[in-house]
Amino acid sequence: MQRVYPKFCIFVCYLFGLNTINGTITGFHLLALGGLRFNTMREEMGKEQDKLISKVTSGEYKYGFYTDIDLDIIPKGLNEDVIKQISAKKQEPDWMLEFRLKAYKAWLGKKMPEWAHLNIPEINYQDIVYYAAPKQKATMKSLDEVDPLLLDTFNKLGIPLEEQKRLTGVAVDAVMDSVSVKTTFKETLAELGIIFCSFSEAVREHPDLVKKYMGTVVPYTDNYFAALNSAVFSDGSFCYIPKGVRCPMELSTYFRINAAHTGQFERTLIVAEDDSYVSYLEGCTAPMRDEHQLHAAIVEIIVEKNAEVKYSTVQNWYPGDKEGKGGVFNFVTKRGICRGENSKISWAQVETGSAITWKYPSCILRGDNSTGEFYSVAVTNNHQQADTGTKMIHIGKNTRSIIVSKGISAGKSQNSYRGLVKMLKNASNARNFSQCDSLLLGDECGAHTFPYIEVDNQTSIVEHEATTSKIGEDQIFYCNQRGISNEDAVRLIVNGYAKEVLNKLPMEFAVEAQKLLEISLEGSVG
């Protein structure tokens, strides 16, 4: 690959070594590099590329349809009364309503974060519908009772809810707007003691578990969008893997925004007890609309001793049209904690949708020898903006983390990696390796990297590598000369670039993600 701007920086903060050089024995606690922008780069490609890379995306968003279904809706606006109505609709216990109201108060006292490299238009929170649910019976005994229109919607999205039609080995919780439509394989999983259900159902059926864990990783005071979510969240998934159980199938949640003017605020809570394992996947789509729609979610993961959770995301919210009209604002707080020793959290994400993405799936590595991983491919095209990355907080001894971020920018888009690696005082022998690569297609897009590193321990090692490259005319011509068209050449090169991350996804979804990458970049090279 042609390295136009081979920014190759490796930081090995070998503090023990530094200590010796300084000749001090104590008093050298902190090497704070936080806030320092290591390499902000905006790449400009040569004019000769213009001819080759000029046509901007002609790829159509495949999931832009709308299902005309009767809705149970709470009118636009946000106040305590609306929150009480949401809680009432969900027949929630008092403690949940209290939690919501506390969060609402916290939100009122907060300001929208402005530190991201994003240009976010003002959001009128009174102009959003906070609850919209397809009308259906409150409890359904079988799939026959689900509105055929809903089944049809999910069929069209490639998510059949009939269990026999599902990919074997995948259980799905299908969420449309504010409610969960159906959770498949619930009974099969229950035999193993696994709880997999909608969040609303968990609040009703497993209140003790929800009470015990909800808000422990992402408190409602955490940030602006987390507070908003905690106040108005409607549905989501709950997943509990008991001690010693390896979940035999992939669990997945499919989020669908359908209703107009509606925000989606879901919560996902995953608890993996000692020695357990689960692989979890979420997918998301929305209809094409001229208006922006807000999606502010929370994902919390708790992992106990020797347990492992893999969380994969294929995010394909409507990105807006070529002129940047419409599209989903995706403001999400995702965080997991490795509470027990030898525990592991692995995030893998393929982000191709949304007009604006603000999202940093993070790991708190509290247990000794615990591991956090973050693998990301973020694609932006046209007027999309993404500010995404991760936080790895090393607390326990011998904790390990790896970050592999691959940004791909095309059109007039802006794509930023933002990450924090923090080594706390007691994190002896902790290690991090970060690799942040950017690939540019075109001369009007931007790629930026904001890696923050804070080290408060003398034995930890932090490495950071970054490269920026563009698809070269030479690479494309080389492919052409072997009989491969421009489009196919870009496809090959992009897939090659993203392979390291795609390989981390569960197999069924790796194929899907690969196709998604192709659609997202279709026509970006003429």
- Backbone torsions φ then ψ of 491, nearest 5 degrees: -60, -50
Least distance CB 105 / another protein (angstroms): 50
Contact 524, 487 (CB under 8 A): no
- 232 vs 479, which CB is nearer to another protein? 479
189 burial class (0-12, 13-18, 19+ CB within 10 angstroms)? Answer: buried
Q: What Rg value do the Cα atoms of the chain yield, rounded?
A: 23
Least distance CB 474 / another protein (angstroms): 5
Regarding beta strands 327-338 and 195-198, do their DSSP bridges make them parallel or antiparallel, or are they unpaired?
Answer: unpaired
Regarding beta strands 400-410 and 431-441, do their DSSP bridges make them parallel or antiparallel, or are they unpaired?
Answer: parallel
| CA diameter of the chain | 75
- 158 vs 496, which CB is nearer to another protein? 496
Least distance CB 525 / another protein (angstroms): 13
- Backbone torsions φ then ψ of 503, nearest 5 degrees: -65, -20
d(CA 375, CA 288): 28
Least distance CB 435 / another protein (angstroms): 13
- 54 vs 126, which CB is nearer to another protein? 54
Least distance CB 523 / another protein (angstroms): 17
Q: Which residues bind another protein (CB under 8 A)?
A: 1-2, 51-52, 472, 474-475, 477-485, 488, 492-493, 495-500
For the chain, the distance separating the N- and C-terminal CA atoms, rounded to the nearest angstrom, is 19
- 2 vs 79, which CB is nearer to another protein? 2
- 49 vs 180, which CB is nearer to another protein? 49
Contacts of 401 (CB under 8 A, 6+ apart): 363, 365, 371, 372, 373, 374, 392, 394, 421, 430, 431, 432, 433
Least distance CB 412 / another protein (angstroms): 24
- 320 vs 523, which CB is nearer to another protein? 523
Least distance CB 439 / another protein (angstroms): 10
- 492 vs 519, which CB is nearer to another protein? 492
Among candidate residues 503, 410, 334, the one with its CA nearest the CA of residue 52: 410
Contact 232, 86 (CB under 8 A): yes
